[in-house]
Chains A and B, each alone.
Chain A
């Protein structure tokens, strides 16, 4: 069965610190993988996606993610977090029909 697991429900970091949000997936074929961000009271916005090729993908707002097939992971990273990055982050897998993880809420302290 297709599924996405985000093990961290809530993460708190200081502004300027590095960030890594974890995502593990289960998918029967080569996965299409995505990270979306949701600001309070808003819909989701696509940060980045992986379809094939280079396993390190760059996204908007300085985010990147690395696909590791051996670990079934697609972790999201940012070298230096800004206060405006505080939001909820969703990992998703699928082709056409996306399955979302339960999300990780990021809090940023000044």
Chain B
């Protein structure tokens, strides 16, 4: 298996632009998590899905952030409009029922908002 695949690896954009981050979980995994990592706040859980349904989005910072999972093999995290304080590394992770705390992480998307 190729593991969790995230794209792009790096994204540089200007303030006010829309940003879309993509994630392909490991096949057969039914949990998907979006985390944000910054020096100041560490790893923060933004949202997670089970069977494509959002279960907990309490970590989503504000309405500018949205996440979707249209099918079992694809999820997006969108920021519109983006702001410089959104600059961070965004990780997607997946896991399976019965071992849902064993997260498999992607390599992350380094987002820089200028």
Known: A43-B93, A90-B43, A99-B45. A49 touches B4 (CB 8 A): no
A11 at the interface (CB under 8 A from B): no
Cross-chain contact A46 with B42 (CB below 8 angstroms): no
* Interface residue count on the B side (C-beta < 8 Å): 19
- B64 at the binding interface (Cβ < 8 Å): no
Chain B residues near A41 (CB, 8 Å)?
107-108
A-B interface pairs (CB < 8 A), number: 48
* CB-CB contacts below 8 Å: A86-105 with B: 90, 94-103
Q: A71 interface residue, CB < 8 Å from B?
A: no
Question: Are the CB atoms of A32 and B101 closer together than 8 Å?
Answer: yes
Interface size band for A: 20 to 34
Closest-CB distance, A88 to chain B (whole angstroms): 10
Within 8 A of B (CB), among A62-95: 90, 94-95
| A34 pairs with B4, CB closer than 8 A | no
Assuming the A-B contacts A43-B107, A43-B108, A90-B43, are A96 and B102 also in contact, with contact meaning beta carbons closer than 8 angstroms in the complex?
A: no
